[in-house]
Amino acid sequence: MTDDNEKIAFWVGVIGFPAMLGVVVLGVVLGAYVLETLWNWFAPPFTAVRLGFAEALGLTALISHLKGYRYRKNEDGWKSLLNVFVGLGLTLLIGWVAHLGIHQ
């Protein structure tokens, strides 16, 4: 029985780690997209330079580093990741609605 558990643990690690890494990378890329989109909607009227994806990705990394990473003891890892994606989606939706209101 222990041998079977070790095999399962091995495969969960082999499959789970790259999957989790992919989800984290997807979250960072989506965060950069949201930042780029919101910036390009709202900053140019204040004579700010438009932001490209590479700059948005760098700013996302910088903001994440400055903000720090918060670990919640009582929250499941997948639930925490889902909250990140829902938060990014809601942020973009709210920004889109504001963008429509400004540019009508």
Mean pLDDT of 82-98: 75
The span from the CA of 92 to the CA of 96, in Å, is 6
Rounded Cα–Cα distance for residues 43 and 24 (Å): 27
- Give the pLDDT score at 72: 57
DSSP state of 68: -
Q: Which two tokens stand for residue 63?
A: 């903001």
Beta strands in 1-104 (DSSP E): none
> Quick one: average pLDDT of 35-45?
91
Q: What percent of the chain shows pLDDT beyond 90?
A: 12
Whole-structure pTM value: 0.65
Average pLDDT over residues 48-62: 85
Q: Are 42 and 99 in contact (CB under 8 A)?
A: yes
DSSP 8-state assignment for residue 40: H
Q: How confident is the model at residue 36 (pLDDT cuts 50, 70, 90)?
A: very high
- In which band, very low, low, confident or very high, does the pLDDT at 62 lie, cut at 50, 70 and 90? confident
Dihedral angle over CA of 27, 31, 32, 35, nearest 10: 180
